């Protein structure tokens, strides 16, 4: 069951949240890994090598390069880096309307920051407790822990963006509240360690991607109004 999200409100407001190339969400993880690796190196022994490899993995996981949105007006950009795993006509559980669902699966080697697919005002933020099944399975959309944002565009269309936890992911971070205005491609959240993002668009919107396509947040166009 979806519920109003206090989860999102427990984090910094969007206007206060800035980030460098290495996402702030990863600083504690990277710092701890570096300290452990340095200690192992100081003590000596080749067993420190796996620890430095772990540092490199964390740095690549939490990288968050800037993205320049150049899509034409009316374009819907991807909210996440990853692979398209589902395109289907469904009922949007967040708005109870007919919708076109496009799902993007992120593995541990993708950038995990999430960006707004369209310009719009946040109408609703809802958090759902749930399971942690493998995120590239269709049932993950219905069963997994998730956080949904409903955006209303200037034309009055409603677009839902749902951050879905995965098998390893245990932390969904969302930095928006009701009433916030998001620009297309603007960063609004982060999911740690593998997950997916579902986008529910008006049913009549024309998709421009296919299942299996690889997309990048803020730059790849999923569909157009």
The catalytic residues are 195
Least Cα distance to 185 among 133, 116, 87, 134 occurs for: 116
| H or E segment and range at residue 54 | helix 49-61
Quick one: residue 85, left, alpha or beta (phi over 0 = left, psi -120 to 50 = alpha)? alpha
Cα three-residue angle 146-151-156, rounded to 5 degrees: 145
Q: How many Å apart are CA 30 and CA 25, to the nearest integer?
A: 10
Alpha-carbon distance of 115 to 23, in angstroms, equals 14
Give the chain's count of helices (H) and strands (E).
4, 15
């Amino acid at each position: 069951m979806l519920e109003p999200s206090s989860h999102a409100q427990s984090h910094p407001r969007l206007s206060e949240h800035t980030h460098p190339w290495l996402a702030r969400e990863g600083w504690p993880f990277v710092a701890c890994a570096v300290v452990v690796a340095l200690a192992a190196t100081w003590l000596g022994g080749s067993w420190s090598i796996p620890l430095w490899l772990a540092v490199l993995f964390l740095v690549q996981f939490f990288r968050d390069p800037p993205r320049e949105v150049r899509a034409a007006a009316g374009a819907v950009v991807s909210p996440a880096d990853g692979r398209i795993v589902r395109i289907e006509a469904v009922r949007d559980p967040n708005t109870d309307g007919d919708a076109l669902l496009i799902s993007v699966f992120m593995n541990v080697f993708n950038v995990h920051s999430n960006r707004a697919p369209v310009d719009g005002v946040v109408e609703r933020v809802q958090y759902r407790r749930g399971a942690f099944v493998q995120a590239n399975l269709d049932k993950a959309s219905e069963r997994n822990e998730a956080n949904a944002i409903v955006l209303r565009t200037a034309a009055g269309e409603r677009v839902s963006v749902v951050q879905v936890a995965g098998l390893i992911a245990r932390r969904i971070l969302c930095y928006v509240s009701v009433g916030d205005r998001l620009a297309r491609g603007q960063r609004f959240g982060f999911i740690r360690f593998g997950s997916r993002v579902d986008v529910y668009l008006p049913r009549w919107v024309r998709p421009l991607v296919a299942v299996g396509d690889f997309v990048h947040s803020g730059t790849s166009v999923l569909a157009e109004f």
